[in-house]
A and B are shown apart, each in its own frame.
Chain A
Amino acid sequence: MPQELNYLKESPSQTAGPYVHIGLAPGAAGFDIYKQELGWDIAGPNAKGERIRVEGVVVDGMGSPIKDVLLEAWQANGNGVYAHPEDGRKVEKGFRGWGRVITDFETGEWGFDTVKPGPSPARNGKLAAPHINLWIVARGINIGLNTRMYFDDEAEANADDAVLNLIEWERRRETLIARRTERDGQAVYRFDIKLQGDDETVFFDI
C-alpha cells in the first residue's frame, strides 16, 4: 500500500446566483448596510498614470446583455506593480488594484474608472503587455470565468505578449483587445465580453 498523499480538495464552486449584489454590492441590491463597500475605487486618488474608463456589456448566447453579472478587476498600477507583498515594490497610497462592478439592471452596461496599467512582470523574467485581469460571475455561471483585457493602443506590446501568443487562433486574440475612444477628453475603452458564438471571448483556466 503506497503512502497517502493527504491533500485536501478545493471546495467546489457554485453559481453566485441572481442576488450576488446583496453580498458583494448591497447598495445596488437596494440597501445601505456597510460603512464602506469594497471595490468601487480601484486606483485611489494618488495613483499616477493615465486615468481611463472601461465600459462594456457581457452578452449571452442569445445575444442579450446579461443584467445580473458581477465583474472583478485585478491590475497593476501605471508602473506595472501589483499591490501585493510578493511583488515587493511600492504602489501609491490608496492603490489596491482591485475592484468590482455590476451592470445597470435595465441595460446590462457596466463601467469602471481606473488608471491604465503599465507592463507587468510575466513568467521567466519577461514583461506582460498592459492588461487587466477580469473575473466574471452571475446566475447561470457555475464557476467564475477568467479573462484578460488588453489595450488596442499597445499593439507592439500585445504582439510580444506571451499569453496572447499562446492563443493559437489570431482571430480569437482580438476578443481580448479593448477599443479606445475619447469622451469629453477622457480615454474610454470599450470591452464587450461574449460568452458564446463565433466571436466568443477567450477565457482562461488560470
Chain B
Amino acid sequence: MSYLGEFYQRDREWHPPGLTRDYKTSVSRSPQYSLISLQGSPAELTGPVFGHDDLDPLDKDMIHNYAQPGESAIGERIILHGRVLDENGRPVPNTLVEAWQANAGGRYRHKKDTYLAPIDPNFGGCGRTLTDENGYYYFRTVKPGAYPWRNWVNNWRPAHIHMSIFGTGFAQRLITQCYFEGDPLIPICPIVNTIPDPNAIEQLISRLDLNATIPLDTIAYKFDIVLRGRRSTLFENRLEGN
C-alpha cells in the first residue's frame, strides 16, 4: 500500500453552509450539530475508478443521445467544455463527469416535474463522460431554459446544468451547478445565493468561448471545475501519534 498525500482541508466558508434560510428546503435538511472533522484515511483517499467500458461515446452528446434517428434536441446548440483541475492546478485525468439539465423550455424529463413547458421527445437531459489525460471534457447539448420553482411565490432558476464529479478519492466527491454568463436570474436566485462569497459564485458561471464554437453550427461555453488538491508527501511518511 502506498497512499498519496491527504487532501487539503475543504474550505467550508467558500462552500454554502448547510442551513440557508432563503432556500427554504435546507431548513429541515441541514444537520444542526457540528460536523466531526476527520484527518484523511484510506477510506477517504480512495474512490471508485471508471473506464471507457462503462460508457458509450454518445453519452456525452445530449443533442443526440436520446433523439430518434435523424432527429436532434430542440434549442440553442451549445458545447460545454473545460478542464477538471485540482487546487494545485493539476489536471484530473480519467475522472467521471456526469451532467443533467432541463430542456430548452425549462422542463425536466422526470416523472415528478409537472411544469407546463413541454417535454422535447428528442431530449433526455443527461450526459456523462471521462476527462482525458489533460483533464479535459466536453458535452454537446442545448442551453437549458429558466424555470419556476416553489420557494418564494415567484422564484425562477437561472439556466443551469447540474454537474457531478468524482476525482480520485471519495473526499473529492462534488455536485455543483454550471450557470451561464450574463443571465440576470443568477444574482437573485436563492440557491445561487446559498454561496456566501461572490467570488465563489463567479467560479460557477461559464463564459462564452467564441474560439471553441463550431461556426454555423454550435456556440460554446467554457466551464472549468476545481476539485480538492492533495499534499505531495506520502501518507506513510506522516508523523506518528495523531
A residues adjacent to B (C-beta < 8 A): 6-24, 26, 29-31, 33-36, 38, 60-62, 66, 68, 72, 74, 76, 82-89, 96-98, 105, 120-124, 128, 131, 133, 135, 137-146, 148, 163, 166-167, 172, 195-196, 200-206
Residue among B39, B109, B110 with most chain A CB within 10 A: B110
- Contact of B41 with A30 in the complex, beta carbons under 8 Å: no
CB distance from A78 to the nearest CB of B (A): 15
Query: Chain B contacts of A98 at CB under 8 A?
Result: 47-48
Q: Which secondary structure dominates where chain B touches chain A?
A: loop
- Contact of B29 with A7 in the complex, beta carbons under 8 Å: no
- Contact of B49 with A83 in the complex, beta carbons under 8 Å: yes
Query: Chain A contacts of B101 at CB under 8 A?
Result: 22
1/0 contact trace for B115-145 toward A, CB 8 Å? 0000000001110100000000000000000
Chain B interface residue count, Cβ-Cβ cutoff 8 angstroms = 93
- Contact of A23 with B99 in the complex, beta carbons under 8 Å: yes
- Contact of B23 with A26 in the complex, beta carbons under 8 Å: no
Query: Chain A contacts of B89 at CB under 8 A?
Result: 6-8
- Contact of B28 with A82 in the complex, beta carbons under 8 Å: no
Query: Chain B contacts of A143 at CB under 8 A?
Result: 15-16, 18
B56 within 8 A of A: yes
- Contact of B46 with A7 in the complex, beta carbons under 8 Å: no
- Contact of B17 with A14 in the complex, beta carbons under 8 Å: no
1/0 contact trace for B38-51 toward A, CB 8 Å? 11111111111110
- Contact of A144 with B175 in the complex, beta carbons under 8 Å: yes
- Contact of A205 with B12 in the complex, beta carbons under 8 Å: yes
Chain-A contact segment, one of B73-81, B209-217, B224-232: B224-232
Query: Chain B contacts of A60 at CB under 8 A?
Result: 28-29
Which one, A17, A18, A33, A133, contacts B170 given CB within 8 A? A133
CB distance from B65 to the nearest CB of A (A): 6
Query: Chain A contacts of B46 at CB under 8 A?
Result: 74, 82, 84, 86-87
Within the assembled complex, what's the spacing in Å between the Cα atoms of A163 and B112?
39
Within the assembled complex, what's the spacing in Å between the Cα atoms of A68 and B1?
38
A10-B10, A33-B126 known; A139 and B25 CB under 8 Å? yes
Query: Chain A contacts of B188 at CB under 8 A?
Result: none
A23-B126, A142-B17 known; A11 and B176 CB under 8 Å? yes
Known: A23-B100, A74-B48. 4 other contacts (CB 8 A): A10-B227, A14-B175, A14-B195, A163-B41
- Contact of A206 with B112 in the complex, beta carbons under 8 Å: no
CB distance from A91 to the nearest CB of B (A): 11
A60-B28, A141-B26, A200-B32 known; A163 and B203 CB under 8 Å? no
- Contact of B16 with A140 in the complex, beta carbons under 8 Å: no
Q: Which residue of A lies closest to B203 (CB)?
A: A11
Query: Chain A contacts of B221 at CB under 8 A?
Result: none
Query: Chain A contacts of B177 at CB under 8 A?
Result: 14
- Contact of A140 with B23 in the complex, beta carbons under 8 Å: yes
Which one, A38, A123, A196, contacts B28 given CB within 8 A? A196
Which one, A17, A30, A34, contacts B109 given CB within 8 A? A30
- Contact of A121 with B1 in the complex, beta carbons under 8 Å: yes
B66 within 8 A of A: yes
Query: Chain A contacts of B40 at CB under 8 A?
Result: 123, 206
A16-B175, A141-B30 known; A202 and B36 CB under 8 Å? yes
